Structure 1
Amino acid sequence: MPSSKKILYFISSALSTTISVGLLGFGMSQQWSTTTVLCARNGADDLNGTAVVTMGLFKGLLLRDGCPGFQIESSFSAFEKLVDTGGAPPALHFLSVILLALCLLFSAGSILLSLYNSVSNPYQTCMGYVGVYVCSSLSASLSVLVLILFVINVSVTSLAEDVVFSVDESVDLGKKSVEMKVGYFLVIPYTVLSLVAIGLIYFYEHAAYTHKQEQEKPTEDAPMETMMY
């Protein structure tokens, strides 16, 4: 039976990862970015209209104001729309979603291993500390990669422009500005909590190793009075 200290650390690690999964799951259902593009009808002197493309992982929204027309709003499926436009944006978007799914999978593995270690002392290395390290490390690393890929997709590629052109090609587009939304920012606490889970296990393992080393000190390191007995 594990010690109470081990139980506390591994339960805390599982709790940290569980909270991170809840945050990420909620974030995946929210809006991730809003891109505002200046636009006008072909041949117009001034780009006095705007097209606002709001992207989530699964749904999107296009609001056109004077681009052309007045306050025209349309929603779309992110996957279907991006597949229709083609190019790099759909590839990066799909990759981001797949990596997030892997994050959830590895987090689930970390939770299960932490709970298993809180009620047992597994001899198998992959079922002990190393398993938790690997799962949580992969979760944190992949989530950071998602943060980079998604912001590149909405800022560098022509994702927003392609969405606008897919609705109306008779427009001229100009400068765009990007604002990241709550869904994107919730990936950050997910990453932090995954690292916290790793830190908790590391602190316990380090303390346990130090305690074991102190108990296994060779006899010659003991005081002379102790050796006489």
Structure 2
Amino acid sequence: MPSVQKSLFFISSALVTAKAVGVLGYAMSTQWAIMTMKCVGGGSGSFNGSATITLALFNGKLDKVQCPFGNSDNFQVFPELVKIGGSPVALHGLVLCLLVLCLLFSAGTILISLYNSVSNPYETYMGPIGIYTCSSLSACLSFVVLIIFVASVTVTSMAEDMVKNSDQTVELDDKSTEMQLGYYLVIPYTVLSLAAIALIFMYDHAAYTHRREQQRPTEEAPKEIMMY
């Protein structure tokens, strides 16, 4: 059986990671970005309005005001991006894949932490090394998600293509993007994943120090004494 101190550290790591999973799960269910564009057209049917896309990971909403008409449409993000093709669908698919991997690695951290809280495995992937690996990958991949998603909604023509997909006659300009709660919740997920690493590192360092202190009297003993 592990010591009480070890159990507390590893249970704390599991709880922190479980909270991180809850945060990321909620983030994946809410809005990630709002993109607004000016909508103009000339000739006899001139108009001057705006189009706004409210984007989550799996669904979205397109609101038009005099662009050229006023209407509101809900859509499924991935099927809509498949119609557009190109880099937007590839980047969005990559974001979803990385988020799923984050959840899987976090689940690995939870399972290994709970296993260590009730047993004393060797220093293998089922010990602190496994938690360092899983939590580090979770933190790194979530950070990559932040970068890729921003590039997807700001650098590519995703928003413009979505609007033009419903009406090819409009011209769009002055796109502005505002990140929403879902996007920002990835940051505390990353921090909590790093916190799980910090907890196990604290325990690992304390255990290593304790082992060194126990070995020191033997190391410092005179050779004559050690011979007997």
Does the TM-score normalized on the shorter chain lie above 0.5? yes
CA contact (8 A) 2:102 2:142 kept: yes
Are 1:52 and 2:18 an aligned pair? no
Distance 2:218 2:171 in 1: 84
CA shift for structure 1 position 220: 5.7
CA shift for structure 1 position 31: 0.7
Distance 2:76 2:219 in 1: 73
Equivalent position of 1:19 in the other structure: 19
Cα deviation, 1:180-225, whole Å, max 9, x if unaligned, reads 01111111100000000000000000000001001001546369xx
Number of residue pairs aligned between Structure 1 and Structure 2: 224
CA contact (8 A) 1:82 1:89 kept: yes
SS for the counterpart of 2:216 is coil
Using the size of structure 2 for normalisation, the TM-score is 0.94
Equivalent position of 1:69 in the other structure: 69
SS for the counterpart of 2:125 is helix
Distance 2:176 2:44 in 1: 21
Give the gaps of 5 or more residues in structure 1. none
Using the size of structure 1 for normalisation, the TM-score is 0.93
Alignment of 1:152-163 (within 5 A): 152-163=151-162
Cα deviation, 1:106-141, whole Å, max 9, x if unaligned, reads 000000000000000012501001001100000000
Supply the AA of the counterpart residue of 2:131.
V
The percentage of counterpart residues that share the same residue type is: 58
Give the gaps of 5 or more residues in structure 2. none
CA contact (8 A) 1:107 1:139 kept: yes
Equivalent position of 1:146 in the other structure: 145
Segments ≥4 residues shifted beyond 6 Å: 44-47
Residues 2 and 43 (structure 1), Cα distance of their counterparts in 2 relative to 1, 3 Å cut: farther
SS for the counterpart of 1:52 is strand
